[in-house]
Structure 1
Amino acid sequence: MSQRIVSDLLLSGTGWQAFERMVMRLVLARDFEHVRLAGTSGDGGADVIATRAGKRWLFQVKRWRRAVGPEVVAETLAACQRYEADIPVIVSRNGFEHAVLQQQRQLIAQGIKLQLWDSRKLFKQAELAEDESLAQRMSAKYDLRSYQAEAVDRIMGEFVRGSRSALVVLATGLGKTFVAAEFYRRFTLTRPEAKALVLAHRNELVYQLERSFWPMLRASQSTGIWNGHERPDLDALKDLDVVFACVDSVASGLDSGRELQHFDLVVVDECHHLGTLAYNTVLAELSAGDGGAFLVGMTATPWRPDGSALGQWFDHPVVNIDLVRGLREGYLANVDYRMYTDNINWDALQDLQGKRFSPKGINRKLFIEEWDDAVVERLAEVWQEQRNPRGIVFCGTIDHAEKMASRINALAFTRAQAIYSRSVSGRAMNPVARNKALWDFAEGQTGVLCAVDMLNEGVDVPDVNIVVFQRVTHSRRIFVQQLGRGLRLAPGKDRVIVLDFVSDIRRFAAGLDLQNSLDGPRDQTAARIRLGNKVTFLHANEEDKVGAQFLREWLGDLKAVEEAGEDVHILRYPPEYVPGAPKRR
């Protein structure tokens, strides 16, 4: 069977982005680890980075019309120094100048193992890759969990019975994409030539979805992208088994008269966004969920942004597991959630009796300023509680992240690194530094990442077992995404410790709501019951039951408080000090 990871079309008929991703997928198929696409403006000469047998490999990828010359060798060797990589690889679609081949021999004699991959070498590497998917070859790593296998069975059951669609509702960290990819694999066992279209509403998600599908696909199944950055022609699309596309790009193509090929399956990620004009245009063209392509929807929230349901496209969820159920039944790592009340100015409560305030006003009056030293001290303590500790600290600003990393490094219980993309003021982290930080973290050379505007999504770090919140976020979606960085199961990981130092009354409401949910009635007949989850309120590192109870009585409707806008006046301090509430401290 032909190896379509590398094909003549990918070598000559697509752009440089697809060429780089082809190399990335080929490296994955050859059993490299920690594979990351680094190529971007200012990447410092690295396009793909990966690890194999304890060695760091750095790939410089050139899709030029001419042969690569000596200047690229110098650029690649300099990149290896920046990334502390061991083995440089230059990939060239159109070969290498004779001088480069001479350089290679000289460098190898000096102990620098420069590798040169031309088109012939790429095809050879593809032939060495087994056609069997990574998931089949590495079952211990990719084995379906019981609820995932059940979800795939139920989707397949809906399809076999002739249903039009299937809806999968799984909380963050439970593997929605993994379920969809495994269903496609099963789907093609009965329809080997089946073509699939996977849709998302953002360009970044499209790339993430393609990478998530790769381990489930055979080497002979090809993938490609159609979004705001890449627009393959119809011949290129027809050659692909799975097309990952931004819905706006497909809808724009249809509006301009572009022909759309036949698809047997349409998968919609974050399908709570269905109902927009773009989605309506694309689904109608394919009759997806309406007698044409079988429609699979994936979401963590089975309601649309306007509050309406998804009944127009789906009858009912074939599986529905929210965050709390995932925690209770052991599908996510046990969470030991610790909320700190030390910086609450309890005296302010007595001074402000009976007044009405917005969340912003309450936070300004109620909370003491930053307490970074205490945060680092608590982090150092819990570092000793975990086996193989690995942590993320979510910070609010770049300066704060760098300051936190510096304080952690000063205590020297681990190595910390600040990481961010771009600040509001335009300050950006050098892509080389950002890629190297993620690489060091994946390999365990860095123990803590102090993140500002990254790691909410798209970075899979399943062995993270400590999460620290210092960033104030008023988006429940972002909060769940950040919490989800630590909830994924991994070998040897029994729990994630969450330290929450956020000075916002809405976060306390969220913590109390989570505590209520975890302490609620449990199904005693469940086969996988887990009782290790807890939410604890702490003051001076001791449990603060009195403070938690006072907050519970004061805040009242926790959901309403948690979802309140910054300037919405929905809260009123108690008209009189509640008996038994915390006294002056």
Structure 2
Amino acid sequence: MFFNEVSIYGSWQAFERLVCRYLAHKGFSGVRLVGQTRDKGADVIAHKGGKRWLIQVKHWKTRIGVDVVDTTLESLRYYRADVPVIVALNGFQEKAVRQQQALMAQGIPLQLWSADQLVKNTSHLSDDYPYGCPSEVFERRDYQENAIQLLVHEYHRPEANRALVVMATGLGKSHVTFEFLRRILLGEEVRVLFLAHTNDLVYQLERSFWPYLKTSQETLVWNGYERPGADELERVPFVFACLNTVSSYVQNGHQLPPFDVVFVDECHHVGDDGMYADILYAADAGRPGGPFLVGATATPWRPDETDLTGVFGNPIVSIDLVKGLKSGFLSNVDYRMFTDNIDWNALRDLKGDNFSPRKINRTLFISEWDDAVVLELKKAWFEQQVPRAIVFCGTVDHAITMRDRINALGFCRAEAIYSRTMGGMVLEGYERNRILCDFNDGAIQVVCAVDIFNEGIDVPDVNIIVFQRVTHSRRIFIQQLGRGLRLSPGKDKVVVLDFVSDIRRFAAGISLKDSLGEDGGPLPGRPVRVRLPYKVSFCKVGGEDPKTETFLRQWLDDVAAIEEANEDASVLKFPPSFNKR
């Protein structure tokens, strides 16, 4: 069993995750690991019986005393939890047990769980998946099933040794790859090395894989914080590893343990440097006689034009954003690109024949219009039955400003969330985790985010996205947009409000609209999911703005070149018909 006398004596981080996985097998939902430095006395938040449970996990050599009980009770108020739990590796002092009894008599349901007790409880669990068989629990979609079968077939084909999965955010590429692994595990024992380029992604991968594992199947994390020994790396069949750590291990002359499958998540990062190449070479992955190599990505494009097919072969499945929308695999999109901040008078004063995006952006756009943004958000808010929104901002100051302006109108509750340290401002880990928990539960309905929801962060499904952040990365733009594209019960559409002041974003909007076409319907043979079509429109506050779209189409003649242009490239020519507007 995964929770056993050996696994509990790993790292304290691994012990916390064992508790998370245990909770999943015991019927808890919304299990989230929140423990960090200065975490206010909470390590795990979970839900069961309509209550929020707060779990403090102590991997101490000594028994737990009343001071930990006091800290845990204090954290209840901060996290707005109902049931406090303390999990201890080596049990509790008698004073702590007596305090628990006194608190229970007062109606405070403090739970004290020892590691020995959890090991015993786990041993009595059936060897099954935590939520039931994934092929029955998760909604089965034809395109996913087709991709899974193709992967299984490729794995068993003698001359095949690699596969590439390209699926836009929201299409379930994780489900496809994990279900593929689960199915081959039904017929044979398989050892898998999961690789990702950040620790956040490593931890997310492990958590996401748990529903596909039976109680008897163990996992292991290998990164800069958790360094298992060679015997552990060989014993545990599923190793989730961070790129830097494995690369250093290989470069220092160590030999990797044998694996049957090497899985690279967000494999568009493979071309960033030579670390992936070193690891794949050391593992002999993707070559005859070596481990089967699988790469998965939602965004296969790279600025350096690295060809992923050279590493992973041609895609087994490839469904991009446009194909996903046209096929009805993703939520309907009502994309509104606002043009109110175009300063036509300034544009008339431009002199010369060629202009860079930097010069156009400085001249063309009026930057301050946050009040209009909030009013448009409020209008979109009442179009959705159960609204939930992410506002992508460019700076921490701007995120805080947007939070305050949204809250001032009183139609929802908003919070600002950003990286732990950014621009001299600090958002402590416990604050960020509390916000994510409240956003997941619906206590917070809007988050104003700065560089936090691109990769590696679990967020609930949203149906309103507001862009106020300029990104010149097509990959990041698609990742952010994908946060609202997942299908879910009762969701008719995602409303996208794009207020970005960058000429390249207008080019991207035109490109997306043209790619989707004007018919607004699904592909032939696909049933109409709902009557609302996907739509890309150019708007002013209060209505559509086809006149500006027509002008922009004439001006942005080579849309692809402009969308991908850098700040100083001279790609825009002054439209000769401009003065006729």
- Inter-CA distance 413–141: structure 2 relative to 1 (3 Å threshold): farther
- Partner residue, 1:538: 539
Corresponding residue SS for 2:568: coil
Query: Shift of the alpha carbon at 1:523?
Result: 8.1
Asked if 1:46 is matched to 2:45, the reply is no
Query: Shift of the alpha carbon at 1:554?
Result: 0.4
Amino acid at match of 2:336: R
CA distance in 2, matches of 1:141, 1:459: 23
Mapped contact 2:299–2:478 kept (Cα < 8 A):
no
- Superposition pairs of residues 512-551 of structure 1, within 5 angstroms: 512-519=510-517, 524-528=523-527, 532-551=533-552
Output the aligned Cα RMSD: 2.0
- Partner residue, 1:266: 262
Mapped contact 2:134–2:179 kept (Cα < 8 A):
no
Corresponding residue SS for 1:517: helix
- Partner residue, 2:409: 411
Asked if 1:229 is matched to 2:225, the reply is yes
Asked if 1:24 is matched to 2:20, the reply is yes
Asked if 1:295 is matched to 2:293, the reply is yes
Query: Which residue, 151, 160, 165 being the options, matches 2:162?
Result: 165
Mapped contact 1:274–1:304 kept (Cα < 8 A):
no
* Higher deviation after alignment, 58-67 or 292-301: 292-301
Amino acid at match of 1:210: E
Asked if 1:563 is matched to 2:564, the reply is yes
Query: Shift of the alpha carbon at 1:121?
Result: 1.9
CA distance in 1, matches of 2:47, 2:168: 31
Q: Deviations over 1:108-158 (max 9, x none)?
A: 111111111111221144246543224535767523322111111001111
Corresponding residue SS for 1:250: helix
Mapped contact 1:304–1:310 kept (Cα < 8 A):
no
- Superposition pairs of residues 450-489 of structure 1, within 5 angstroms: 450-489=448-487
Amino acid at match of 2:559: L
- Inter-CA distance 104–523: structure 2 relative to 1 (3 Å threshold): closer
Mapped contact 1:44–1:431 kept (Cα < 8 A):
no
CA distance in 2, matches of 1:194, 1:25: 21
CA distance in 2, matches of 1:165, 1:374: 50
- Partner residue, 2:497: 499
Aligned residues: 575
CA distance in 1, matches of 2:277, 2:363: 48
- Partner residue, 2:96: 100
Q: Deviations over 1:550-580 (max 9, x none)?
A: 111101111211122122232232244264x
* Higher deviation after alignment, 151-160 or 291-300: 291-300
CA distance in 1, matches of 2:523, 2:246: 48
CA distance in 1, matches of 2:107, 2:164: 55
CA distance in 2, matches of 1:571, 1:480: 24
Amino acid at match of 2:265: D
Amino acid at match of 1:527: R
- Partner residue, 1:425: 423
- Partner residue, 2:105: 109
Corresponding residue SS for 2:486: coil
Query: Which residue, 339, 345, 348 being the options, matches 1:347?
Result: 345
- Inter-CA distance 125–512: structure 2 relative to 1 (3 Å threshold): farther
Amino acid at match of 1:155: L
Mapped contact 1:468–1:499 kept (Cα < 8 A):
yes
- Inter-CA distance 208–31: structure 2 relative to 1 (3 Å threshold): same
Corresponding residue SS for 2:166: strand
Query: Which residue, 355, 358, 363 being the options, matches 1:357?
Result: 355
CA distance in 1, matches of 2:275, 2:241: 12
- Partner residue, 1:552: 553
Mapped contact 1:67–1:97 kept (Cα < 8 A):
yes
Q: Which consecutive unaligned segments of at least 5 residues does structure 2 have?
A: none
CA distance in 2, matches of 1:503, 1:315: 38
Asked if 1:510 is matched to 2:511, the reply is no
Amino acid at match of 2:172: G
CA distance in 2, matches of 1:523, 1:452: 34
Corresponding residue SS for 2:469: coil
CA distance in 1, matches of 2:461, 2:577: 47
CA distance in 2, matches of 1:287, 1:247: 16
- Partner residue, 1:123: 119
Corresponding residue SS for 1:94: coil
* Higher deviation after alignment, 59-68 or 269-278: 269-278
Amino acid at match of 1:541: G
Mapped contact 1:29–1:130 kept (Cα < 8 A):
no
CA distance in 2, matches of 1:104, 1:321: 54
Amino acid at match of 1:258: H
Asked if 1:188 is matched to 2:185, the reply is yes
CA distance in 1, matches of 2:150, 2:518: 28
Query: Shift of the alpha carbon at 1:285?
Result: 2.8
Asked if 1:216 is matched to 2:217, the reply is no
Query: Shift of the alpha carbon at 1:305?
Result: 5.0
Mapped contact 2:201–2:455 kept (Cα < 8 A):
no
- Inter-CA distance 308–448: structure 2 relative to 1 (3 Å threshold): closer
Query: Shift of the alpha carbon at 1:468?
Result: 0.7
Identity of aligned residues (%): 53
CA distance in 1, matches of 2:360, 2:125: 60
Asked if 1:63 is matched to 2:40, the reply is no
Asked if 1:239 is matched to 2:235, the reply is yes
Corresponding residue SS for 1:274: helix
CA distance in 2, matches of 1:381, 1:128: 53
- Superposition pairs of residues 568-583 of structure 1, within 5 angstroms: 568-577=569-578, 579=580, 581=581
- Superposition pairs of residues 361-440 of structure 1, within 5 angstroms: 361-440=359-438
Mapped contact 1:353–1:576 kept (Cα < 8 A):
no
Query: Shift of the alpha carbon at 1:423?
Result: 4.8
Q: Which consecutive unaligned segments of at least 5 residues does structure 1 have?
A: none
- Partner residue, 1:277: 274
